[in-house]
Amino acid sequence: MHLNDNEIQRDIYNLILNPSTREWERESLLKVKDRRADVNFSTQLDDIKSDLRPLALRHNLTPDVMDFYLKISGEPQPDSSDKVRLHDEADPPHQERAIFAGGCFWCMVSPFDKRPGITAVISGYTGGEFDNPNYDQVVGQYTGHVEAVEILFDKRLITYQELVDIYWQLIDPTDNMGQIDDRGESYRPVIFVNNDEQRQIAEQSRQAVIDSEIYSKPIVVEISDVTRFWPAENFHQDFYKKNTSRYRKIERTRRLYLSLQHSKNMMRKLFKKVKG
């Protein structure tokens, strides 16, 4: 892969000025920038990769810096800008949007993305009080946002009801302080509705879960009107495709938890029925 000197320098300057860049990341970038007159371009790239690699391997860089590291290291990292751009475009005929929050958005994309009729599943933040939130702010619970996915779908091929049915299979609806290993208010489960029809479907669906008496604890999933949805950084888009092994470990833990919960609840309900 050919890297352009001017483009890399521009990326470095932008990351230095980016308020989301952590201080130690900024210091590493400034150190490399200041040495530009003393070393050649190849050495400069080696210095940056050497500084960033330890935390990149542990996925502990801020998203924009992580994208930059993957760019200069040559590791594959699909650009999701075309998908994110769909968020700002007007919906064509027969397209509708659904927004669900259910814990970490890394695990909320794949189950919807593979269904016929899905145009795009975009990871992002919504339900908060501030504009342009970033990942660290949301996870730090400074903005009131939750991690969520915005689903653009062709309602001729898949219905909103079907999407809601999938949603209930992905979450623990009794936990309003996170989901499985993801703890905190930014991971609470919420269905954000775009119109009266979606609200009616969501509310009827929630009531059906309550009436099923599968869960011994109260169903705490909120149903709220849509607020502005902010697409997340490129690193988080299509995470299940970009970081396959890490995603599989997280998804396996989540699936096992939900499967065990479902089995226990079904056994409890059966026992209660037999005893009654």
Which of the residues are catalytic?
A: 104
Q: In degrees to the nearest 10, what's the CA dihedral of 78, 127, 111, 69?
A: 20
Token output for 263: 């089995």
Q: What is the C-alpha separation between 161 and 177, in angstroms, rounded?
A: 25
Q: What is the C-alpha separation between 98 and 11, in angstroms, rounded?
A: 34
Residue owning tokens 């290993």? 181
* Number of residues that this document lists for the chain: 276
In Å, how far from its chain's centre is CA 36?
Answer: 36
Q: What is the DSSP string of 29-50?
A: HHHHHHTTTTS-HHHHHHHHHH
What are the Cα distances from residue 177, in Å, to 155, 182, 210, 220? 32, 9, 19, 10
Token output for 236: 């988080």
- Torsion 74-79-242-47 (CA) sign: positive
Parallel/antiparallel/unpaired status of strands 222-225 and 190-193 = parallel
What's the chain's Rg over C-alpha atoms? Answer: 22
